[in-house]
Amino acid sequence: MDVRIIRLFDRYILGALIPPAALFSWFTKKQKEQKNASANDAYQKILMIKLWAIGDSILTLPMIRELKKKYPKAQIDVLCHERNKDVYTENKDLANVLLFSIKQVWKLYQKYDLVIDTEPYFHVSALIAAWTGTYRAGFAHQFRSMVYNSKTAFRKDQHMVQNYTDMLKFLGITPSITKLIKIESSSEAKARVKELVQQYQLKQKDLLIGISPGVAESVKSRMWPLQRMAYLADRLVDELHAKIIFLDSPSNAAHVDEVIKKMTSMKKDKRVINLAGKTNLKETLFLMTGIPVFISNDTGPVHMAAAQACKTLGLYGPNIPTLWAPYGKGNIVLYHKVHCSPCIINDKGKMPECIYKGTDQYQMCMKRIEINDAFDAAKELVEAWRAEQNQQNRRKQVKHVRSR
């Protein structure tokens, strides 16, 4: 179903159910008192709701880790969609990964002591929280918040990682998160990546740079012009002697083909590997652990790469990197604010296409990102990676000498 239709249905049809859902929650009279919320045994069964977006789901993992630290004996489940489930399936902090369906939700009636709704604007997730939990936490804005017992401000002046962990303050949890949680992979994914490494004869000495030129289905104006991505890839190959690995979804495979077609480097046949649409999410995540530098637009792969400890360059325009930058020390964001940016308003679910579509002003925010700036940023990340490699090698040498 078209994403716009889903959002309209959620806003106008499901939104009308919020007031009766709030009344229903009040009449059940099963809410836990907040004064007991910080007790280590206060919650035995906890549900987190995240129905949308792979990258956004990755940003919830530090919150889940902190929740597990607080309640090590609790059963923590996540309710998610088929599309983002693989972010969670190998996570040892979770007991169960439940796929969203009406039948599944129906079976969860008042099953949980605590439900944390991480969606910032969906009415459906608020309704699920009211149905499944005796104590409910969510973001404070919009009237959907009337179903929550604990309400957290959605702050646009801090990263989403912090917005999510702020939802745990009522539990006495106030962590300082410095990096994302690495996502583990299945044995099948590891075996598949090993095959790819052998197939493309990738060596440890190779400088691998990953590139994801596409974006998800909404707000296509987030995509840096493909011609510029091609020029950037050419320079990375010719000047840094890198091997480029294109990683993207099947829906963006045509964009990757176009980028490669536009490349003019004489070395591209030997130094460009196109894996767009050829690896699933788990395989992509494990492959990223061997890629030192990654370049992406404001979309899922930018957070995937940051989680897997790639030195990540994010290209931003319609959205603000304050909320959505690749999280972690040493990553770089390129963003030039223009009068209409940001046009995406995350907490209200507003994700419009560029108002200048069809004119020469289209994507003016993304076009402000120059090829030279992107190359210099990528080169900076490569140099930082090489410096770390040299430092690690020196430590190994010292350790070897001392052990003799």
Those residues with Cβ within 8 angstroms of residue 317's Cβ, 6 or more apart along the chain or in another chain: 221, 222, 298, 335, 336, 341, 363, 365, 366, 368, 369
CB 223 within 8 Å of CB 317: no
Beta carbons of 119 and 141 less than 8 angstroms apart: no
What pLDDT sits at residue 3?
54
Structure confidence by residue, pLDDT tens digits, 259-287: 999 999 999 999 999 999 999 999 999 99
pLDDT at 52: 87
> φ and ψ at 245, to 5 degrees?
-115, 115
Amino acid 24: pLDDT: 66
Contacts of 371 (CB under 8 A, 6+ apart): 228, 231, 232, 235
Query: How many whole angstroms separate alpha carbon 348 and alpha carbon 141?
Result: 9
Q: Which residues of the chain have pLDDT under 50?
A: 1, 29-38
Domains, the chain, ordered by start:
10-171 (3.40.50.2000), 187-395 (3.40.50.2000)
Report pLDDT for 393: 81
- Going by C-alpha positions, the residue among 86, 88, 85, 40 that lies closest to residue 67 is 40
Tokens encoding 288:
């990223």
Question: 325 and 333 in contact (C-beta within 8 Å)?
Answer: yes
Q: Residues with Cβ < 8 Å from 182, sequence gap 6 or more?
A: 289, 307, 308, 309
Residue 389 near residue 299, CB atoms below 8 Å = no
Measured in whole angstroms, the distance separating CA 360 from the mean position of its chain's CA atoms is 31
Instruction: Show the tokens assigned to 227.
Output: 């011609």
Torsion of CA 48, 49, 51, 52, to 10 degrees: -70
Identify the CA nearest to 219 among candidates 13, 7, 10, 371: 7
Q: What angle do CA 157, 299, 306 make, to 5 degrees?
A: 75
Nearest to 151 by CA among 164, 138, 141: 138
